[in-house]
Amino acid sequence: MDVLQTAFGTLMGRIAEYIIEHEEDVRSGGFALNEVLDRYGMQLMSFGTLFSNLRSFTEDGGSPAEPADEPEE
Protein backbone atom coordinates (compact mmCIF):
# COMPACT_ATOMS: atom_id res chain seq x y z
CA MET A 1 0.00 0.00 0.00
CA ASP A 2 2.91 2.36 0.71
CA VAL A 3 4.13 2.05 -2.87
CA LEU A 4 0.70 3.02 -4.22
CA GLN A 5 0.45 5.96 -1.84
CA THR A 6 3.90 7.17 -2.94
CA ALA A 7 2.93 6.85 -6.60
CA PHE A 8 -0.31 8.73 -5.95
CA GLY A 9 1.60 11.47 -4.15
CA THR A 10 3.98 11.78 -7.08
CA LEU A 11 1.08 12.07 -9.52
CA MET A 12 -0.60 14.71 -7.36
CA GLY A 13 2.67 16.64 -7.24
CA ARG A 14 2.86 16.67 -11.05
CA ILE A 15 -0.72 17.86 -11.30
CA ALA A 16 -0.15 20.61 -8.76
CA GLU A 17 3.00 21.79 -10.54
CA TYR A 18 1.16 21.94 -13.87
CA ILE A 19 -1.79 23.82 -12.36
CA ILE A 20 0.49 26.34 -10.64
CA GLU A 21 2.47 26.85 -13.84
CA HIS A 22 -0.73 27.45 -15.86
CA GLU A 23 -2.85 28.97 -13.10
CA GLU A 24 -4.53 31.76 -15.06
CA ASP A 25 -5.53 29.50 -17.93
CA VAL A 26 -6.81 26.80 -15.56
CA ARG A 27 -8.87 29.37 -13.63
CA SER A 28 -10.45 30.65 -16.83
CA GLY A 29 -11.31 27.14 -17.99
CA GLY A 30 -8.99 27.41 -20.96
CA PHE A 31 -6.80 24.90 -22.73
CA ALA A 32 -4.67 24.16 -19.65
CA LEU A 33 -7.69 22.88 -17.71
CA ASN A 34 -8.57 20.50 -20.52
CA GLU A 35 -4.92 19.46 -20.69
CA VAL A 36 -4.94 18.57 -16.98
CA LEU A 37 -8.07 16.49 -17.40
CA ASP A 38 -6.82 14.80 -20.58
CA ARG A 39 -3.36 14.11 -19.21
CA TYR A 40 -4.19 13.07 -15.63
CA GLY A 41 -7.93 12.39 -15.40
CA MET A 42 -7.82 8.68 -16.23
CA GLN A 43 -4.87 8.09 -13.90
CA LEU A 44 -6.70 9.82 -11.04
CA MET A 45 -9.85 7.80 -11.65
CA SER A 46 -7.81 4.59 -11.76
CA PHE A 47 -6.08 5.39 -8.47
CA GLY A 48 -9.43 6.25 -6.88
CA THR A 49 -10.94 2.96 -8.01
CA LEU A 50 -7.89 1.00 -6.89
CA PHE A 51 -7.83 2.59 -3.42
CA SER A 52 -11.58 2.12 -3.05
CA ASN A 53 -11.33 -1.56 -3.95
CA LEU A 54 -8.40 -2.11 -1.61
CA ARG A 55 -10.27 -0.49 1.26
CA SER A 56 -13.33 -2.63 0.63
CA PHE A 57 -11.21 -5.79 0.79
CA THR A 58 -9.47 -4.89 4.04
CA GLU A 59 -10.94 -4.71 7.51
CA ASP A 60 -9.22 -1.54 8.69
CA GLY A 61 -8.39 0.11 5.37
CA GLY A 62 -4.71 -0.67 5.67
CA SER A 63 -3.90 -4.29 6.25
CA PRO A 64 -5.28 -7.34 4.47
CA ALA A 65 -8.16 -9.03 6.21
CA GLU A 66 -7.57 -12.46 7.64
CA PRO A 67 -9.52 -15.20 5.89
CA ALA A 68 -12.55 -16.36 7.83
CA ASP A 69 -12.14 -19.60 9.72
CA GLU A 70 -14.01 -22.45 8.14
CA PRO A 71 -16.51 -24.12 10.45
CA GLU A 72 -15.38 -27.40 11.89
CA GLU A 73 -17.43 -30.47 11.12
pLDDT of 68 > 80? The answer is no
What's the predicted TM-score (pTM) here? 0.64
Q: Delimit the domains of the chain by residue range.
A: 16-47
pLDDT of 17 > 90? The answer is yes
Beta-ladder partners of 64 = 58
Give the pLDDT confidence score for residue 18 in this predicted structure.
Answer: 92
